[in-house]
């Protein structure tokens, strides 16, 4: 029902960056190895996500725009162990309810693809179309029919920066996917997608950062905890934590506790102001984390936060201490 979609839009779609998040996560779930994101005016007038994932049949495409039409849960029991990023089946219809939405998709083996156009949640226009393998979703004039929500947005520059920050973190959490991000027709990010975190860090932050980075490598086999990644040397400090990315079991996470572990360990060795640039990739037993959180929140609940705190602390110490001697 259209009213439900508009209400739900406030939950899933708060700003352009939330749209990009939902679309790109779908592309990742679809097995894409190349994802391109284009935005104009901070995403408020135009966003387009193009992937080379598995695409959809006409039936799948029709289903995808219905509420709760997720293809990612086979039974309720799956909810607790769900491995894919999406599991609610409401992103596409809610986005389409508050924008001019156009999707083109084609799966392998099909000569023709499907185009679905939806204007502010109205009846979809569905037709056959020629299109490349995979899915392209274009979202124009976000919130054109919900002025109250539109008013709540920040400047185009700020909204665009949020999208940029999100894509940086996504690209870091998926070195095996080649990301391209075009912001107002300018190439803002381009990663190789060759699986190397180091090459991805270099592509995003530049060679000067990659050269100043120390590799992290920590394992607590008994607890099933592993940490890999990079942290910059004391010669390369930043004024904020914005350059720190935490990835837990493939998900981008914000955790005050783990950020504090990075800072505390670093400060214990380097008596300087500022924060290192860091990318920490943690692997923990799936049953020890709770990922069933609100769509907008990326705080993850840990069964034993203290244990992870110690692991991160140790990983940072081990990486930075040798560089101090
Ligand atoms: P969810 O991701 O929670 O399943 P969405 O509304 O985001 O719900 O997507 C609905 C469905 O549409 C997905 O389950 C998937 O089957 C399909 N879908 C969406 N985006 C893509 C894509 N880029 N490639 C292939 N299938 C997609
Ligand atoms: Mg989804």
Nearest ligand, CA 66: 1
Pick the atom of ligand 1 nearest to 94's CA. Answer: 6
Q: Which option is the CATH number for 206-324: 3.30.450.20, 1.10.230.10, 1.20.120.450, 3.30.230.10?
A: 3.30.230.10
- Beta-bridge partners for 113: 129
How many angstroms separate the CA atoms of 285 and 99, rounded?
A: 39
User: Which pTM does this prediction carry?
Assistant: 0.90
| Interval between CA 281 and ligand 2 midpoint (Å) | 23
Pick the atom of ligand 1 nearest to 92's CA. Answer: 6
Predicted local confidence at residue 293, as pLDDT: 56
CATH 3.30.565.10 region(s) of the chain?
2-190
CATH 3.30.230.10 region(s) of the chain?
206-324
Tell me whether 0.85 is exceeded by the ipTM.
yes
Pick the atom of ligand 1 nearest to 89's CA. Answer: 8
CA quadruple 293, 297, 302, 306: dihedral, nearest 10 = -160
CATH fold of 2-190: Heat Shock Protein 90 (3.30.565)
| Contacting residues for 278 by C-beta, under 8 A, at least 6 apart | 229, 230, 231, 232, 243, 244, 245, 262, 316
| Interval between CA 215 and ligand 2 midpoint (Å) | 33
pLDDT in tens, 114-156: 999 999 999 999 999 999 999 999 999 999 999 999 999 999 9
Which of 23, 70, 94, 108 for a ligand 1 pocket mutation test, highest count of atoms within 8 Å of Cβ?
A: 70
Predicted local confidence at residue 82, as pLDDT: 43
Indicate the average pLDDT of the chain: 90
| Interval between CA 28 and ligand 1 midpoint (Å) | 10
Nearest ligand, CA 49: 1
Which residues have CB under 6 Å of ligand 1? 22, 26-27, 30, 51, 53-56, 60, 64, 69-72, 86-92, 135
Residues 229 and 265: beta-carbon distance below 8 Å: no
Distance between first and last Cα of the chain: 65
Nearest ligand, CA 60: 1
pLDDT in tens, 72-98: 644 444 444 444 444 467 899 999 999
pLDDT in tens, 1-52: 555 555 555 566 889 999 999 999 999 999 999 999 999 999 999 999 999 9
């Amino acid at each position: 029902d259209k009213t439900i979609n508009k209400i739900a839009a406030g939950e899933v779609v708060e700003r352009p960056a939330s749209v990009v998040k939902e679309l790109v996560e779908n592309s990742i779930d679809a097995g894409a190895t190349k994802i391109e994101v284009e935005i104009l005016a901070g995403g408020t007038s135009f966003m387009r996500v193009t992937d080379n994932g598995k695409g959809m049949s006409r039936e799948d495409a029709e289903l995808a725009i219905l509420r709760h039409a997720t293809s990612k849960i086979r039974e309720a029991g799956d909810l607790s162990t769900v491995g894919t990023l999406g599991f609610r089946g409401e992103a596409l219809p809610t986005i389409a309810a508050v924008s001019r939405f156009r999707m083109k998709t084609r799966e392998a083996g099909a000569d023709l693809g499907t185009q679905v156009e939806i204007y502010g949640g109205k009846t979809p226009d569905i037709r056959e179309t020629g299109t490349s393998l995979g899915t392209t979703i274009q979202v124009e004039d976000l919130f054109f029919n919900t002025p109250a929500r539109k008013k709540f947005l920040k400047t185009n520059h700020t909204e665009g920066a949020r999208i940029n920050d999100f894509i940086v973190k996504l690209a870091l959490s998926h070195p095996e996917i080649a990301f391209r991000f075009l912001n107002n027709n300018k190439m803002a990010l381009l990663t190789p997608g060759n699986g190397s975190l180091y090459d991805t860090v270099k592509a995003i932050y530049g060679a000067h950062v990659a050269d100043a980075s120390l590799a992290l490598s920590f394992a607590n086999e008994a607890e099933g905890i592993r940490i890999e990644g990079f942290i910059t040397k004391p010669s390369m400090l930043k004024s904020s934590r914005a350059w720190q990315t935490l990835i837990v079991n493939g998900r981008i996470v914000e955790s005050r506790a783990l950020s504090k572990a990075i800072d505390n360990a670093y400060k214990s060795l380097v008596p300087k102001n500022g924060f290192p640039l860091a990318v920490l990739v943690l692997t923990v037993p799936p049953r020890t984390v709770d990922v069933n959180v609100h769509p907008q929140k990326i705080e993850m609940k840990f069964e034993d936060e203290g244990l992870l705190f110690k692991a991160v602390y140790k990983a940072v110490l081990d990486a930075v201490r040798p560089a101090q001697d």
